[in-house]
Structure 1
Amino acid sequence: MKMSLQNLYSPPVLVGLITKNRTHYGTRPRSPNHPSSVTVQVSSIQVQNDQSGDSPEPIKVLSSGIVNNQRERSTQTSDQLLSQPNTIGIIGGVSAFSTLIFLEKLVWWGSRAGGCPPFVVCSDSTLCMKLPLLSSFPSFKAQMAQIPSSSSRPVVESLKHKRVFLELSGARCIVMPCHILHVWHSEISEGCPLPFLHAGECVAKELLEAKLKPLEVGSDVRIGILASNEALVAGFYQDKLQDQGFEVVLPDKATMEHVVIPAMEALKRGDKKGARNLLKVAVQILLMRAVNTVIIACDEMKGLLPHDDPLLQKCTDPMDALARSTIKWAKSEANMQI
């Protein structure tokens, strides 16, 4: 896949089509329930300015490999990349790897529902350089108040441009599979005419529909949250869960300082085994506080626990909930158009 550095208004785009065959490409270990027959075919579309500053005519790259210049298709009334009524627009996260993991989830859950819907991905690998420094504050609202608007404005504006780009590309629903970027979900979705799914709302709704029972008599159902930035990222999940009547349990200060943060540091220096062991400790500490499940709200923690680890059964990945909700929307939207 060819990629190049894009400017704010000309992000790289992936157009996806799903096929089924007998060959699986990849080296990641799979769980026994993972459909190894599903592969993703994506086409990369380069949309960048020339030296004169003018944008070239849009090029449509179809999954079959056929390239059509819009000049040759001037008789068409629409220049959208995709025109299906259930097309998904995906704003890529801070980590391109996490975005690809979400695409894998979308394919996996889509295959279980009869097929993955068409999608367009808009990703910017330089986004992390625009993010303001996220220091530690006692609460989500307090930390948001401490982030200067001048620091977050470039991020929000960049993501808004990507959202509009996806709308013009034919997306009928927008998703953003990134924990950190959900901090600005309300700002990014402002004025959006399309459904813009929120990972926190999706996971809270699924947990509510699961009709969980309290593990302690006289208490509410408790949900644990693990995130590298406990005050900020865990904060919006906490708000959405509490809106559904759940009691939210976060790691205490000692657990953050002696377990969670060291786990992230171990991962950064390449000590995956050490990070995994510390993550297990953090999950167990929350389970001892009678939580029904632990939400893993951190991209870096994904994949640390092997698929056959019993602790993994006690954990919830919000991006799975987002992928399932995306497929559910796409299927209902497709049915309405029949």
Structure 2
Amino acid sequence: MSHARVLGVLGGMGPLAGATFMQRLTLLTPAERDQDHIPAILWSDPRVPDRTAARLSGGEDPLPALLRGIAGLEAAGCGAIAIPCNTAHGWFEPMQAATRLPILHIVEAAADELLRLGIAGGPIGLMATKGTLAMRLYQARLEGRGYDCLVPREAEMDRIVMPAIDLVKANKVSESYAPLAEVARRLIERGARAVVLGCTEIPLGISAGPALPFPVADTIDALARAAIAWAKPAG
């Protein structure tokens, strides 16, 4: 049996985000029977050290744990890897250098999601961890594709966004909706045409309440669509 189109999922960052990615991968795949779905192996390792702490405050380096997961997925016969954690992409280059498998980049997937939503340029809001914002993972790539990124103010990050992300990680998902939705609305009020949910905990919080009345790019769904396009190429 060929494993060329088995997807490897490097998860656990956080565990709920990885599990939700697997669910969304299933629900977004055009399928009428079990055999139409994408073979996938989830490596869910919540022991990976905190990515934001590693980047901003000298915390333990997550790269060895990330590489261990990549090696495990490669040994299992996967053909590509998806990582449903935005901040982990700060180590994208050394991860890609360590494997022959293509790693689907979540920021590129988010940019494609913006186009799918009809947002081809201009100002967009960007919600993410402090680590992701500090590394400019989104800003560098999206600005090259014609977008201007508006990010939450420092006080909003400290008092609202990061605590709300922590609520999701603590399985208090419904409590995270109101603060995350408020910050997203503020970005729209500042002129954003859409809001990128650039941390895989944020879509979980946003989906726990009423749908927002403006476009949002859910990076879990975006990465799932990229994985489907890899596994089931058009034509």
Paired residues for 1:175-324 under 5 Å: 175-208=82-115, 210-212=117-119, 221-229=122-130, 232=133, 235-261=136-162, 263-264=164-165, 275-306=176-207, 309-311=210-212, 313-324=214-225
TM-score after normalising by structure 1: 0.59
**Are the structure 2 counterparts of residues 123 and 322 from structure 1 closer, same or farther at C-alpha, using a change threshold of 3 Å?**
same
Shift of 1:278: 1.8
Q: C-alpha separation between the residues in 2 aligned to 1:92 and 1:156?
A: 14
2:90 match: secondary structure:
helix
Shift of 1:244: 1.1
Larger Rg: 1
Shift of 1:291: 1.2
Match of 1:120 in 2: 41
1:284 match: secondary structure:
helix
TM-score after normalising by structure 2: 0.82
Match of 2:15 in 1: 96
Shift of 1:198: 0.6
2:81 match: secondary structure:
strand
Partner letter of residue 162 of structure 1? G
Shift of 1:309: 2.2
- Give % identity: 25
Shift of 1:240: 1.9
Q: Which has the higher helix share?
A: 2
Shift of 1:197: 0.4
Q: C-alpha separation between the residues in 2 aligned to 1:240 and 1:125?
A: 28
**Are the structure 2 counterparts of residues 243 and 208 from structure 1 closer, same or farther at C-alpha, using a change threshold of 3 Å?**
farther
- Provide, for residues 122-168 of structure 1, a one-character-per-residue CA deviation record: whole Å limited to 9, x for no partner: 222322xx336628xxxxxxx57x758xx42xx21222232122122
Match of 1:105 in 2: 24
Shift of 1:102: 0.5
Q: C-alpha separation between the residues in 2 aligned to 1:104 and 1:272?
A: 17
Which of 83, 87, 91 is matched with 2:2 structurally? 83
Between the two structures, name the one with larger relative contact order (CA 8 Å, sep ≥ 6): 2
Shift of 1:325: 0.7
2:123/2:148 contact within 8 Å kept: yes
- Provide, for residues 77-108 of structure 1, a one-character-per-residue CA deviation record: whole Å limited to 9, x for no partner: xxxxx733211111113222211100001101
Unaligned runs of 5+ in 2: none
Match of 1:172 in 2: 79
**Are the structure 2 counterparts of residues 113 and 242 from structure 1 closer, same or farther at C-alpha, using a change threshold of 3 Å?**
farther
Comparing 166-175 with 228-237, greater Cα deviation is found at 228-237
Query: How many correspondences in the alignment?
Result: 233
Q: C-alpha separation between the residues in 2 aligned to 1:318 and 1:161?
A: 24
2:203/2:220 contact within 8 Å kept: no
Q: C-alpha separation between the residues in 2 aligned to 1:184 and 1:283?
A: 27
Kindly report the root-mean-square deviation, in angstroms, between the aligned alpha carbons of the 2 structures: 3.1
**Are the structure 2 counterparts of residues 181 and 265 from structure 1 closer, same or farther at C-alpha, using a change threshold of 3 Å?**
closer
1:93/1:181 contact within 8 Å kept: no
Shift of 1:184: 1.1
1:88/1:117 contact within 8 Å kept: yes
- Provide, for residues 2-33 of structure 1, a one-character-per-residue CA deviation record: whole Å limited to 9, x for no partner: xxxxxxxxxxxxxxxxxxxxxxxxxxxxxxxx
2:196 match: secondary structure:
strand
